[in-house]
């Protein structure tokens, strides 16, 4: 049964993440936001603690703690540094997708290196300049040769593109229209012909690099193919179902941190001779954020629990991501309002939370795409019931 309280082992993973975030991420988060760059050292320490393979089997180097523990850990990490957390979530997603769809040889070769930090982190290369919400319209292609495959094309917006040691890359392997023409490949970051582009200048998550990736006739062996030829789109969609639990957790963590900060500030800040927390207008903002973030957390935990039980969770993961990202964004905005002018300055972290959380409504499927996933499932179930 789904328990609202974490089990002892789930709580242990969440505590590990919380302590790591307090010790390693907190002293660097504000500076990382200003300087940008890639938090390689923090990620190496995350790997040592097992945070790059939370839901990965122990014999592949993971900590095998399950999807619920993963969600709880991501919430704790994101409360402190969304930039480092997004690299961790994508890397976990890559480790999980190889665990699920890889051959035994692929699993043994790559997953321990992802969990242990030997690849620094993993990257997920699906989007292109002309193919975002509609990845099936991608142009990157892989052509079969006697020796394997030749990969050519360009990806865009790739998280950790500057440093990831291994990417899952999606490419067309036939001219057939639609998603059956797409396959997935494992491509090392240092393979000849892989060119990492310059990081984008983003509104937030400055400590997460987001880059183009070019593939100039990259030669791959047959062992680079992940899953079967033509099954790549299905693999991407299944990976994104799990990924959306990670992004929903990340958003929830940002919202909770901003709300906690605002509540502390409201108790201290005095106007009209009283703490502003005594004004009902401030109390109601805090109450709305607390309620909505609690609901977000429950949606996240339900989706994670379904995943852990091996049940279908596509719709629930989309609901969690849609609700958590939208409500957490509002909660961060309310936190700025509670702080007034100070909230709008870099003296306090709430403006960073707002900038960092904004992209959770966009990546791994925009809010509009989540609504399509949810309504499609709802209408299918309704029609099956009649």
Q: Supply the residues annotated as catalytic.
A: 364
Angstrom distance (rounded) from CA 352 to CA 236: 30
Site string for ligand FAD, 173-212 (x = CB under 6 A): -----------------------------x--x----x--
Q: Of 48 and 134, which has the nearer Cβ to ligand FAD?
A: 134
CA–CA separation, 3 and 72 (whole Å): 13
Q: Which is nearer to ligand FAD, 139 or 274 (CB)?
A: 139
Instruction: Please identify which residue in the block is written with the tokens 């709305």.
Output: 288
Are 189 and 38 in contact by the 8 Å Cβ rule? The answer is no
Closest distance to ligand FAD from the beta carbon of 327 (Å): 18
Candidate residues 124, 149, 265, 305; the one interacting with ligand FAD per rule CB under 6 A: 124
**Structural contact between residues 249 and 255, judged by C-beta atoms closer than 8 angstroms:** no
- Rounded to the nearest whole angstrom, what is the least distance from the CB of residue 166 to ligand FAD in the complex? 13
Choice between 83 and 181, CB closer to ligand FAD: 83
Q: How far is the CB of 155 from ligand FAD (least distance, A)?
A: 7
Structure tokens at 116: 């242990």
Report which of 330, 328, 122, 76 is spatially closest to residue 243, judged by C-alpha positions.
Answer: 122
Stretch that binds ligand FAD, among 64-72, 76-84, 271-279, 355-363 (CB under 6 A): 355-363
Q: How far apart are CA 83 and CA 38, in angstroms?
A: 9
Residue 359: C-alpha distances to residues 73, 268, 277, 288, 362 (Å): 20, 31, 30, 22, 5
Q: How far is the CB of 366 from ligand FAD (least distance, A)?
A: 3
Nearer to ligand FAD, 242 or 365 (CB): 365
Query: Cα–Cα distance between 245 and 247 in angstroms, integer?
Result: 6
Residue with tokens 């979530």: 89
Q: At what angle do helices 232-268 and 280-308 cross, to 10 degrees?
A: 150
The site string for ligand FAD over 125-164 (x = CB under 6 A, - otherwise) reads xxx----xx-----------------------xxx-----
305 is a contact residue toward ligand FAD (CB under 6 A): no
Q: Which of 60, 57, 40, 51 is nearest to 14 (CA)?
A: 51
Is 188 exposed, middle or buried, given 0-12, 13-18 or 19+ CB atoms closer than 10 A? middle
Q: Binders of ligand FAD: how many residues, by CB under 6 A?
A: 21
Rounded to a whole number of angstroms, the minimum distance from the CB of residue 148 to ligand FAD is 23
Stretch that binds ligand FAD, among 211-219, 226-234, 250-258, 363-371 (CB under 6 A): 363-371
The nearer residue to ligand FAD, 173 or 210, going by C-beta atoms, is 210
Is beta strand 194-196 parallel, antiparallel or unpaired with respect to 225-226? unpaired
User: Contact between 49 and ligand FAD (CB under 6 A)?
Assistant: no
Please identify, among the stretches 259-267, 276-284, 306-314, 360-368, the one whose residues bind ligand FAD according to the rule CB under 6 A.
360-368
Identity of the residue, 13 or 317, whose beta carbon is nearer to ligand FAD in the bound complex: 317
Q: Give min distance, CB of 167 to ligand FAD, in A.
A: 9
Best CA proximity match to 77, nearest among 4, 5, 24, 12? 24
Nearer to ligand FAD, 283 or 366 (CB): 366
Residue with tokens 């790591």: 20
Nearer to ligand FAD, 250 or 350 (CB): 250
Q: How does 16-45 read in b/e, with b if 16+ C-beta sit within 10 Å?
A: bbbebbeebbeebbeebbeeeebbeebbbb
* Shortest Å, Cβ 235 to ligand FAD: 13
**Binding-site ranges for ligand FAD (CB under 6 A):** 90, 124-127, 132-133, 157-159, 202, 205, 210, 359, 362-366, 368-369
């Amino acid at each position: 049964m789904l328990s609202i309280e974490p089990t002892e082992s789930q709580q242990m993973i969440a505590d590990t993440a919380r302590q790591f975030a307090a010790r390693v991420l907190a002293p660097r988060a504000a500076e990382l936001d200003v300087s940008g760059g890639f938090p390689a050292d923090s990620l190496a320490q995350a790997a040592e603690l097992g945070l790059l393979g939370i839901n990965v089997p122990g014999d592949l180097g993971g900590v095998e703690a399950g999807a619920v523990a993963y969600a709880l850990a991501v919430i704790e990490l994101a409360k402190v540094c969304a930039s480092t957390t997004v690299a961790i979530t994508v890397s976990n997603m890559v480790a999980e997708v190889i665990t699920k769809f890889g051959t035994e040889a692929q699993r043994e070769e790559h997953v321990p290196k992802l969990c242990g930090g030997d690849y620094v982190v993993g990257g997920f290369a699906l989007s292109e300049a002309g193919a975002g919400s509609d990845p099936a319209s991608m142009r990157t292609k892989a052509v079969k040769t006697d020796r394997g495959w030749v990969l050519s094309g360009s990806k865009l917006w790739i998280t950790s593109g500057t440093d990831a040691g291994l990417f899952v890359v999606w490419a067309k392997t036939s001219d057939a229209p639609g998603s059956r023409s797409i396959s997935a490949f494992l491509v090392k970051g240092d393979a000849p012909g892989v060119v990492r582009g310059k990081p984008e200048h983003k509104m937030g998550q400055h400590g997460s690099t987001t880059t183009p990736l070019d593939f100039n006739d990259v030669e791959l062996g047959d062992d680079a193919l992940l899953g079967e030829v033509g099954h790549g789109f299905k693999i991407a969609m299944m990976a994104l179902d799990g990924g959306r639990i990670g992004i929903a957790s990340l958003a929830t963590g940002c919202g909770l941190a901003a709300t906690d900060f605002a509540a502390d500030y409201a108790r201290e800040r005095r106007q009209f001779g009283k703490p502003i927390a005594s004004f009902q207008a401030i109390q109601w903002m805090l109450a709305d954020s607390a309620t909505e973030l609690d609901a977000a957390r429950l949606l996240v935990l339900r989706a994670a629990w379904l995943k852990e039980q091996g049940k279908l969770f596509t719709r629930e993961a989309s609901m969690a991501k849609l609700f958590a990202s939208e409500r957490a964004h509002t909660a961060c905005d309310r936190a700025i309002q509670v702080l007034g002018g100070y909230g709008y300055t870099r003296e306090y972290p709430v403006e960073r939370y707002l900038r960092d959380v904004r992209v959770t409504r966009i990546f791994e499927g925009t809010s509009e795409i989540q609504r399509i996933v949810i309504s499609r499932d709802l209408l299918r179930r309704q029609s099956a019931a009649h």
